[in-house]
Amino acid sequence: MTIFINGKQKRVKRPPTIEGLPVDEFIRRNADPIWLFQNGMYEELYQWEEQHNQHEKQGASQPSSGYDFKMVNCGDDDLPF
């Protein structure tokens, strides 16, 4: 990519993108909380949790990522799988 600095042309590498989005934005939109935790992205995990809590307060039945992390009540004899 060519840019102008002080009236002169300079060549710089293009920033990496995935499907036209910057890498950080793509991760923010598509990562699930487990992946964020495993890769040490605690700030994004905190933002995901805040967004998830806000959706619950508004009465949304499903989280925005499509995952439902509610515990299922199983008896002592029942196996969860």
Q: Please list the pLDDT of the chain residue by residue as tens digits (81 residues).
A: 899 999 999 999 988 988 888 988 888 888 888 888 888 888 888 888 888 888 888 875 555 555 555 555 555 666 555
CA distances from 47 to 17, 43, 66 (A): 22, 6, 17
36 CB burial (10 A radius; 0-12, 13-18, 19+): buried
Six token digits for residue 32 = 């699930």
| Per-residue pLDDT, 29 | 85
* pTM assigned to the model: 0.48
